[in-house]
Amino acid sequence: MSFRVLATCSETAARVGVLETPHGPLHTPAFMPVGTQASVKGLDPHELRAVGAECLLANTYHLALRPGEALIQQLGGLHRFMGWDGPLLTDSGGFQVWSLAPLREVTADGVAFRSHLDGRPLLFTPEGVIAIQQALGADIIMPLDVCLEYPATEPEAAAALETTYQWLQRALAAHRDGVQQLFGIVQGATYPELRQQAARVLAALDLPGYAIGGLSVGEPKDVMEAMLATTVPELPTDRPRYLMGVGAPDDLLMAVEHGVDMFDCTLPTRMGRAGSLLTRRGRLNLRNARFRREAGPAVPDCDCAVCTRYPAATLHWLFQEGHALGGRLASYHNLYFLCQLLREARAAIAAGHFPAFRAAFSRDWVASDPAVGREQRRRWRTVQSQRRPAPVAER
Amino acid sequence: MSFRVLATCSETAARVGVLETPHGPLHTPAFMPVGTQASVKGLDPHELRAVGAECLLANTYHLALRPGEALIQQLGGLHRFMGWDGPLLTDSGGFQVWSLAPLREVTADGVAFRSHLDGRPLLFTPEGVIAIQQALGADIIMPLDVCLEYPATEPEAAAALETTYQWLQRALAAHRDGVQQLFGIVQGATYPELRQQAARVLAALDLPGYAIGGLSVGEPKDVMEAMLATTVPELPTDRPRYLMGVGAPDDLLMAVEHGVDMFDCTLPTRMGRAGSLLTRRGRLNLRNARFRREAGPAVPDCDCAVCTRYPAATLHWLFQEGHALGGRLASYHNLYFLCQLLREARAAIAAGHFPAFRAAFSRDWVASDPAVGREQRRRWRTVQSQRRPAPVAER
C-alpha cells in the first residue's frame, strides 16, 4: 500500500497521511503547485522545495500540444525536463479540452477538438491519454473524463458520468505500467446522488487514489462543501483523495475537514504574477499606493524568504516597474503561504486540535467577494469562446 | 587602507586584491552584476551570492528618477531596498544622462536634461549627485563626469576632461561622509596623452579608488587596450582600478592583465534575457533549433546550477514559450560564467601562471563579430535619439 494514514481528527474527517512514490513521499494534506507547461511560472525547483512543495503538477493537454510527449520522453521524461526529482502528477487533459479548446465534440472514440494554439484537429482517447502520460512519466496520472460547465442539468451530468465511467474502464485496460498510480475521478456535477453513485462505483474498483473533479468551476462554496460531504465518505479511507483545481485557503481547510488529502491550483502563482499576496486576513494587492512607502514586510506575520527579506515598498516598486522579479517573489510567497497553511493543518490534526485551528483561521480570514470570482470566470470564458483557431495547416 | 594587494603576476600587471567595505569584502579581480533599477533583472540576492557575486551596482540616474533617493533613504537605504547586505556601488548617473536623456546641456552648474521617462526637466550637479548617492547609501560612489560619444575630437575630449576635473573638485568638497568611498574617474576618450594626464592628476588626489570611464563605447578593442596600457601605470598600485561598463569575457582578461581590478556590465543579464549563453568558445543562442532535442546540458563544461540541472532542450523550450524563467536561468549562467572566470583568474595569478591561463582562454574563445556589436550600438543610439519625451507636466 503506497498511502498510509498517520493520524486522524476525532471530531472531523481530517487526517494526516503520507503517499509514497518512486520519487519520494508526499505528506498530506498537501498543496501541489502547477507547472502547466512543465514550469511553475517564474520559479525554479530549488524554490519549490524551499516553500515546502513535495509534488508538482503538469498539464497533459499543454505538453501534448507542445513540445509533445515524444520529445519529453526522448529527453529522459518529465522529471528530467522540469529539473525536478520529486513526485509529479499529470492530469488527463480533459479539463483543458473543455475549457480551452474550440470545437470540441465527444465521439465514440474520445473527444475531438482543435488545438487552441494553431487550430489543428486533435483527438484525445482514454487509451491515448494514458499513453501520453506514460511517455511523460509522472508518478500519479489521471484518466480522461468528461468535464461540464457550471451549471449543468442532471441529465447532462448523468450522461457525462456514464461516458467518464466507460472511459475509465478503457484507461484501466490501457494502463499496464505498475509504477505509475492511475487515480479515478469522481464527477457528477452538483447532484449529490450522482456524486455518491460515482464514488461508490469507483471505490469498488480499488484504485490507488481518488480525485474529485468538476468542482470549483463557479458553483457557490456551500454547494462545493455539500458535494464533498456526500462524496468523501463513500471513498476508501486508506486511499488518498485529491480535490482538483482548488487553491483558495478557506476552501483548502474546509476540504481538509471533509477528509481531502491533495490539492492543486494555479491560483497562488496566477495571483502572484498579478501582484496579489495571500495573507491570514485575505488577499492584498501590492500595487496599492499604501505600500509605496512601507519599510516593513508586506505580510508582517509571514516568515517566508520574501517577507523576511524585502520591504513591502520594494515589492510595490517591482510591480510598478514591471520587473519579472516581482511576480516571482509574490508567487513564492503565495506558494509558501499555502504549503505552510497545510503544514500547520497537519500539525493541528496530529495534535488533536484541528477544529480549533480551522476556527482560528476562519475568524481572521476575509474572503474575496465571490461575485468578483464569478465575474472573472465569466469574462475568461467569453474570451475563450471568442477565440478563433488559426487556419489549419495542410498536413 | 581599505584595499590590499594580495598577489601579483610576475610577467604582467595582473594582481589579486581585496577591497574592504562596511558590508564585507570584495575579492578582486571582480565582476559586479548591474541592478539598474535596484534589481538585477530576474535574479534575487540568494542567486547573486550563489554565482559568487560580492558587490552589486545600481544606477543613480534611474533611481533618482524613480522612485527617488528620498524614498529609498526613508525605507532604510539601498541595501535594504534591494534585499542585499553585501557591498554596493552606485554610478554618478553621468553616463545615463549622456546615453538616455534627451536635450541634455552642460551648464555652469552641471548638466541639464529631460527625463527619458516623462520629459520633465532635471539638473544633475556634482554636489547634487553626491547628495543623491549619500541618500542611497552605497559603499562605493562616483563623481559626476562628462561622457562623450565615440568618436570624439581631441578638443572635445580635452574640454570634457577639464569640466570633469572641475566637477570632481566640487564632488570632493561636497563629500563629507567618511564611510562611503568616492572614486575618481579617468576620462580622455581615445587620446593617450589626455588619459595619461587625467590619471596623473587624479593619482595626486590620493582617492580611495580609480574608475576608468568612457571606454567600451564603440571603439575597437585594440584602442581600448591601448588606453588601459597608458592609463593604469599612472594610477597608484595600492588602490583599486575599476573599468566601467566592460563585461565581455575576453575584455575582462585583457584588462586584468593590465592591472584592472573591478568590472561591471549589463551584458550577462541582457544577453541572458535574449537567450544567449556565454561559453569558453564564445556565445551560443538557446533559440537555435539544434537545442530542441538536446538532452545534455547547454554548456557541457559548466558546473553552474543551471547547466547541471536542466537539459539544453528545457532552456530552449522556455525561450520558445516565452517563460520568464528562461531569461532568469540564462542570466544566472552568464553571471556565474563571468564570476567563475575571474575566480579562476584570481587563482591563476596567485599561483603564478596567469599568462598561461589567459592564453588557454584565448585559444578556445571565438569572439563575436565586432561589426555586429557596433551595428547594435548604432541602432540603439538611433532609437534613443528618436525618442520624444512626453509633454512636461505643469509643476
Specify the DSSP class assigned to residue A265. Answer: E
The answer, for A387 touching chain B at a CB cutoff of 8 Å, is no
Looking at residue B387, its pLDDT comes to 55
Q: What is the pLDDT of residues A315-365, one digit of tens each?
A: 999 999 999 999 999 999 999 999 999 999 999 999 999 999 999 999 999
The answer to whether the Cβ–Cβ distance between A41 and B325 falls below 8 Å is yes
Picking from A317, A331, A333 by the largest number of B CB atoms within 10 A of its own CB, the best residue to mutate is: A317
Q: In angstroms, what CA-CA distances link A281 with A250, A269, B365, B368?
A: 11, 19, 56, 54
Please report the number of interchain residue pairs, chain A to chain B, with beta-carbon separation below 8 angstroms. 100
Closest approach of A326 to chain B, Cα-based (Å): 9
Model confidence at A22: pLDDT above 80: yes
Q: Where are the domains of chain B?
A: 3-266, 273-364
Q: Does B62 touch chain A (CB under 8 A)?
A: no
Question: Does the CB of A329 have a partner CB in chain B at under 8 Å?
Answer: yes
Q: Is A65 on the interface with B (CB under 8 A)?
A: no
Cα B120 versus chain centre, distance: 27
Q: Which residues pair with B283 in a beta bridge?
A: B278
Closest CA to A133 of A207, A73, A201: A73
Instruction: List active site positions of A.
Output: 91, 264
Q: Does A49 touch chain B (CB under 8 A)?
A: no
Non-local CB neighbours of B337 within 8 Å, separated by 6+ positions: B249, B268, B277, B278, B279, B299, B302, B304
Beta bridge partners of B3: B19
Strand-pair category, A241-243 with A210-212: parallel
Cβ neighbors of B125 (< 8 A, separation 6 or more) are: B109, B110, B144, B170
Q: Which residue shows C-alpha cell 574617474?
A: B185
The verdict on a CB contact (< 8 Å) between B311 and A81 is yes
Annotate B152-199 with DSSP letters as a single string. --HHHHHHHHHHHHHHHHHHHHH---SSSEE-EEE--TT-HHHHHHHH
The residue assigned the cell 461508490 is A200
User: Do the Cβ atoms of A314 and B75 come within 8 Å?
Assistant: yes
Residues A195, A224: contact at Cβ < 8 Å? no
A383 versus B366: which is more confidently predicted? B366
In order along its 395 residues, chain B shows pLDDT tens digits of 599 999 999 999 999 999 999 999 999 999 999 999 999 999 999 999 999 999 999 999 999 999 999 999 999 999 999 999 999 999 999 999 988 888 899 988 999 999 999 999 999 999 999 999 999 999 999 999 999 999 999 999 999 999 999 999 999 999 987 899 999 999 999 999 999 999 999 999 999 999 999 999 999 999 999 999 999 999 999 999 999 999 999 999 999 999 999 999 999 999 999 999 999 999 999 999 999 999 999 999 999 999 999 999 999 999 999 999 999 999 999 999 999 999 999 999 999 999 999 999 999 999 877 777 677 667 766 765 665 544 433 33
Whole-number Å distance between alpha carbons of A152 and A191: 10
Burial environment of residue B158 by CB neighbours within 10 A (0 to 12, 13 to 18, 19 or more): middle
- Smallest Cβ–Cβ distance between A75 and the set B41, B83, B311 belongs to B311
The answer to whether B156 and B106 have CB atoms below 8 angstroms apart is: no
Q: Do B293 and A46 touch (CB under 8 A)?
A: no
Q: How many CB atoms lie within 10 A of CB B154?
A: 13
Q: If you measure CA to CA, which chain A residue comes closest to B44?
A: A325
Query: In this structure, are residues A277 and A326 in contact, taking their beta carbons and an 8 Å threshold?
Result: no
Residue of B118, B309, B332 to mutate when probing chain A, most A C-beta within 10 A: B309
Instruction: Give the Cα separation of A29 and A258 in Å (integer).
Output: 11
Spatial neighbors of B241 by CB under 8 A, at least 6 apart, are: B209, B210, B211, B212, B232, B235, B259, B260, B261, B262
**Nearest 5°: phi and psi at A19?**
-105, 120
Q: How far is A368 from chain B (nearest CA, A)?
A: 29
Check: CB of residue A361 under 8 Å from CB of residue A257: no
Query: Which backbone phi and psi does A391 adopt, to 5 degrees?
Result: -55, 140
Q: For residue B34, what are the β-bridge partners?
A: B57
- pLDDT (average), residues A295-310: 97
Distance CA(A143)–CA(B223), nearest Å, equals 66
Q: What 3-state class would DSSP assign to A67?
A: coil
CATH architecture of A3-259: Alpha-Beta Barrel (3.20)
- Cell 592564453 identifies what position? B359
Alpha carbon of A246: minimum distance to chain B alpha carbons (Å)? 24
Which active-site residues of B does the annotation give?
91, 264
Distance from CA of B322 to the nearest CA of A (A): 11
Long-range contacts of B14-20 (CB under 8 A, 24+ apart): B14/B256, B14/B257, B14/B258, B14/B259, B14/B345, B14/B349, B14/B354, B15/B237, B15/B259, B15/B261, B15/B349, B16/B346, B16/B349, B16/B350, B17/B240, B17/B261, B19/B87, B19/B209, B19/B240, B19/B261, B19/B262
Q: How far is B206 from chain A (nearest CA, A)?
A: 37
Question: By the CB < 8 Å criterion, does B296 face chain A?
Answer: no
Q: Indicate which of B62, B323, B329, B331 best probes the interface with A, i.e. most A CBs within 10 Å of its own CB.
A: B323
Tell me how far apart the alpha carbons of residues B238 and B339 are, in angstroms, rounded to a whole number: 23
Q: What is the C-alpha separation between A250 and A232, in angstroms, rounded?
A: 18
Which chain B residue lies closest to A46 (C-alpha atoms)? B305
Residues sharing a CB contact under 8 Å with residue A20, sequence separation 6 or more, in sequence order: A2, A3, A4
CB A326 within 8 A of CB A291: no
In Å, what is the CA distance from A11 to each residue of A14, A97, A221, A230? Answer: 8, 40, 22, 17
Contact B71 A292 (CB under 8 A): yes
Is B75 in contact with A295 (Cβ distance < 8 A)?
Answer: yes
**Using one digit for the tens of pLDDT, what is the confidence trace for B121-153?**
999 999 999 999 999 999 999 999 999 999 999
| pLDDT interval class at A102 (50, 70, 90) | confident
Q: What is the mean pLDDT of residues A99-119?
A: 89
Does A387 have pLDDT greater than 60? no
Choose from B270, B304, B314, B332 for mutation: most chain A CBs within 10 A.
B314
Contact B313 A71 (CB under 8 A): yes
How long a stretch of residues is chain B?
395
Nine cell digits for residue A210: 481518488
Predicted local distance difference test score (pLDDT) of residue B392: 38
On chain A, the residues whose CB falls within 8 A of the CB of B39 are 318, 323, 325
Of A45, A75, A311, the CB nearest to B295: A75
A317 touches chain B (CB under 8 A): yes
Q: Which of residues 147-206 of A touch B (CB under 8 A)?
A: none
Element (H, E) at B284: strand B282-285
Are B144 and B174 within 8 A, CB to CB? Answer: no
Q: How far is B386 from B226, CA to CA, in rounded Å?
A: 33
- Beta-carbon separation of B324 and A329 below 8 A: no
In tens, the pLDDT along B206-258 reads 999 999 999 999 999 999 999 999 999 999 999 999 999 999 999 999 999 99
Contact B311 A42 (CB under 8 A): no
Record: contact B313-A75, CB cut-off 8 A: yes
CA dihedral over B268, B270, B271, B273, signed as positive or negative: positive
Helix (DSSP H) and strand (DSSP E) numbers for chain A? 15, 17
pLDDT at A383: 66
Please name the helix (run of DSSP H) or strand (run of DSSP E) that holds residue A34, with its range, or none.
Answer: strand A30-35
**Interface check A36 vs B, CB under 8 A:** no
Q: Is B121 on the interface with A (CB under 8 A)?
A: no
Q: Which amino acid is at A136?
A: L
CA distance A64 to chain B (A): 14
Q: Can you tell me the distance from the alpha carbon of B217 to that of B380, in angstroms, rounded to the nearest whole number?
A: 12
A334 near A272, Cβ under 8 Å?
yes
Tell me the DSSP string of A88-137. EEE--SHHHHHHT-SS-EE-SSSEEEE-TTT--EEEE-HHHHHHHHHHHT
CB contact under 8 A, B67 and A317: yes
Which residues does B7 contact at the CB level (< 8 Å), separation at least 6?
B15, B16, B349, B350
For chain A, how far is it from start to end, CA to CA, in angstroms?
Answer: 47
Question: Quick check: B354 contacting A, CB < 8 Å?
Answer: no
Cross-chain residue pair A76–B311, CB shorter than 8 Å: yes
Across the interface, whether the CB atoms of B314 and A74 are under 8 A apart is answered no
Nearest CA in chain B to A322: B41
- Mutation for B interface: A81, A84, A294, most B CBs within 10 A: A81
pLDDT over 70 at A2, yes or no: yes
Residues of B in contact with A317 (CB under 8 A): 37-38, 67, 81
Tell me the pLDDT tens digit for each residue of A3-12. Answer: 999 999 999 9
* Euclidean distance between CA atoms B348 and B14, whole angstroms: 10
Taking an 8 Å cut-off on Cβ atoms, the answer to whether B325 and A43 are in contact is: yes
CB B64 within 8 A of CB B35: no
DSSP conformational letter for A83: T
Taking each continuous run of H as one helix and of E as one strand, the counts in chain B are 15, 17
CATH of B3-266, one of 3.40.50.880, 3.40.50.720, 3.20.20.105, 3.40.1180.10: 3.20.20.105
Contacts of B323 in chain A (CB under 8 A): 37, 39, 41-42
**Does any CB of chain A come closer than 8 Å to the CB of residue B298?**
no
Residues near A326 by Cβ (< 8 Å), separated by ≥ 6? A275, A286, A315, A318, A319
Q: What is the mean pLDDT of chain A?
A: 94
Give the nearest chain A residue to B70 (CA atoms). A293
* Cα angle: B175, vertex B176, B178; to 5 degrees: 110
Cβ-Cβ contacts under 8 Å, A295 against chain B: 74-76, 80
Bridge partners of B242?
B211, B262
Which grid cell is A326?
516581482
Q: By the CB < 8 Å criterion, does A38 face chain B?
A: yes
Across the range A179-201, mean pLDDT stands at: 97
Weakest mean pLDDT among A32-41, A250-259, B104-113, B251-260? B104-113
